[in-house]
Homo-oligomer: A and B are copies of this chain.
């Protein structure tokens, strides 16, 4: 997405954070490039592709100015993917980056609040926010390492 046309990404609405002691907002991360993986712990495409990529981004780019954020956007099998189960998943897969639990809808709809607000189609979805908080990439499905790396490299080079 062209920087000139990009819009501020509205804040996420997170019910609970894991892997971080304090709650976080997008505004808190202004100045960093933010890579958000919206995922579900029982989504095979997430587990096979998005989660390993997220681990690598966190390990390789956290000290270069990329904030890696997981967002657990559960829209199916809610009983099986409650926060205590997510905590076990995070432990078993050795994830170290902050993971937020997308807040359930207020009216009992299956799609949680941030997923609805951002209009996400499913999981995994990759979103990249620039240093100014603008949404620059949103992709439903897997983004291969080479173009994702290049995109991060470009955004890191912006003032």
Chain A residues near B (Cβ < 8 Å): 42-44, 47-48, 53, 56-57, 60-61, 64, 76-77, 79-81, 84-85, 87-89, 91-93, 144-158
Inter-chain contact B153/A57, CB cutoff 8 Å = no
Copies in the complex: 4
Name the residue of chain B whose CB is nearest to the CB of A45: B92
Note all chain B residues with C-beta closer than 8 A to A81: 85, 88
A84 to chain B, nearest CB (A): 6
- Tell me whether B42 and A88 are in contact (CB under 8 A): yes
Q: 8 A–B contact pairs at CB < 8 A?
A: A76-B88, A77-B92, A80-B88, A149-B150, A149-B151, A149-B153, A150-B152, A153-B153
The winner among A53, A61, A88 for most chain B CB atoms within 10 A is A88
Which residues of the partner chain B approach A157 to less than 8 Å between Cβ atoms? Answer: 153-154, 157-158
User: Contact between A44 and B93 (Cβ–Cβ < 8 Å)?
Assistant: yes
Question: In the bound complex, do residue B144 and residue A150 qualify as a contact, i.e. CB atoms below 8 Å apart?
Answer: no
Q: Which residue of B lies closest to A84 (CB)?
A: B79
Q: Is the beta-carbon distance between A44 and B92 smaller than 8 angstroms?
A: yes
Residue of B whose beta carbon sits closest to that of A144:
B145
Q: What CA separation (Å) do A85 and B60 show in the bound complex?
A: 33
State how many angstroms separate the Cβ of A153 from the closest Cβ of chain B: 2
